[in-house]
């Protein structure tokens, strides 16, 4: 490796490590917990981690995701303010701990469910709170006259993402396959994510009967927002694909992602540019 390149790589690593250390030592201030009514008996709980859906039935509560483990009490306080019914099920949209971290604090009576790949990812990284029930492609859960369906359409954010459909309410929960804040994708390639397959997952999602979306992060979305997200994703992917085909440098590609597509410097997404480039090369 040339000395100049080595110096640049060392500087980049120092910046990334510094950003991680700063985040760890000075985490962002906790957001207050709140519950927003989406439909009768269906609520979105916001707080420290990803958005949680709480579906209240006459036989108990179904939660979609449960935030970080440190957010367990905050989430449960919101649930208890909505109903006296106990939580019966938690369905994880994927394994990341801002969505599945509080699995570890759930009482043993609560059944935790995920896609089988999400459980495998939790085993790989030794993450506590592993689901005891998994599925491959589709799951249907009925409780107290309410129906919840879960679908795995392929790789996207990770290899274990699922879409949750509340058919009676015409609402879906997308996990991090769709966000309204921040409005950018993060392919976790280390966990099987894919920029190529992500749009196919969105196309299958669009075939469901819904008009309202609970995103992984950010305020409530809708079909128009999902269509824009997909279009913006394709614009970004095609731009990077064209740069890869032109054999442009990683430095140039990173600069485009930072400047044109507003990926945060030192963020998780920009840390996987090498894997993004590799996937685009294989897609030629």
Do residues 107 and 19 share a domain? Answer: no
Instruction: Please give the model's pTM, rounded to 2 decimal places.
Output: 0.88
Do residues 17 and 118 share a domain? Answer: no
pLDDT of residue 30: 65
Do residues 19 and 136 share a domain? Answer: no
Do residues 21 and 118 share a domain? Answer: no
Closest to 128 in 3D by CA, of 103, 152, 151, 91: 103
pLDDT of residue 174: 98
Quote the tokens at residue 64. 């979609």
260-263's contacts with Cβ under 8 Å and 24+ in sequence apart are: 261/184, 261/236, 262/184, 263/184
Instruction: Look up the CATH number of the domain holding residue 223.
Output: 3.60.15.10
Do residues 163 and 25 share a domain? Answer: no
pLDDT reading at 279 higher than 50: yes
Task: Give per-residue pLDDT as tens, 143-183.
Answer: 999 999 999 999 999 999 999 999 999 999 999 999 998 77
Strand pairing class (60-64; 87-91)? parallel
| Number of domains observed in the structure of the chain | 2
Query: In percent, how much of the chain has pLDDT > 90?
Result: 83
**Cα-flanking dihedrals φ and ψ of residue 60, to 5°?**
140, 180
Instruction: Supply the range of the domain harboring residue 90.
Output: 31-282
The pLDDT-based confidence of 184 (bands split at 50, 70, 90) is confident
Do residues 242 and 204 share a domain? Answer: yes
pLDDT of residue 167: 98
Is-contact 177 202, C-beta < 8 A? Answer: yes
Do residues 45 and 150 share a domain? Answer: yes
Do residues 82 and 221 share a domain? Answer: yes
Do residues 100 and 19 share a domain? Answer: no
């Amino acid at each position: 490796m040339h000395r100049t390149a080595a110096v640049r790589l060392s500087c980049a690593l120092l910046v990334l490590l510094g950003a991680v250390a700063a985040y760890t030592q000075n985490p962002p201030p906790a957001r207050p917990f709140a519950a927003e009514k989406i439909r009768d008996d269906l609520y979105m709980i916001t707080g420290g981690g990803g958005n949680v859906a709480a579906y209240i039935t006459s036989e108990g509560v179904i939660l979609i995701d449960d935030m970080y483990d440190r957010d367990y009490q905050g989430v449960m306080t919101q649930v208890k303010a909505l109903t006296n019914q106990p939580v019966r099920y938690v369905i994880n949209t994927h394994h990341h701990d801002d969505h599945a971290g509080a699995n570890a604090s759930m009482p043993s009576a609560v059944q935790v469910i995920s896609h089988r790949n999400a459980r495998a990812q939790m085993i790989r990284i030794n993450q506590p709170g592993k689901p005891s029930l998994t599925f491959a492609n589709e799951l249907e859960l009925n409780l107290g006259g309410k129906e919840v369906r879960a679908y795995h359409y392929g790789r996207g954010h990770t290899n274990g993402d699922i879409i949750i459909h509340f058919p009676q309410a015409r609402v879906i929960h997308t996990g991090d396959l769709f966000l309204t804040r921040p409005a950018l994708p993060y392919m976790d390639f280390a966990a099987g994510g894919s920029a190529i397959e992500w749009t196919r997952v969105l196309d299958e999602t669009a075939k469901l009967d819904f008009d309202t979306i609970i995103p992984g992060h950010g305020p409530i979305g809708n079909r128009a927002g999902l269509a824009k997200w997909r279009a913006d994703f394709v614009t970004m992917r095609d731009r990077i694909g064209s740069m890869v085909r032109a054999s442009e440098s990683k430095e140039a590609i990173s600069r485009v992602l930072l400047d044109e597509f507003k990926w945060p410097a030192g963020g998780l997404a920009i840390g996987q540019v090498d894997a993004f480039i590799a996937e685009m090369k294989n897609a030629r």
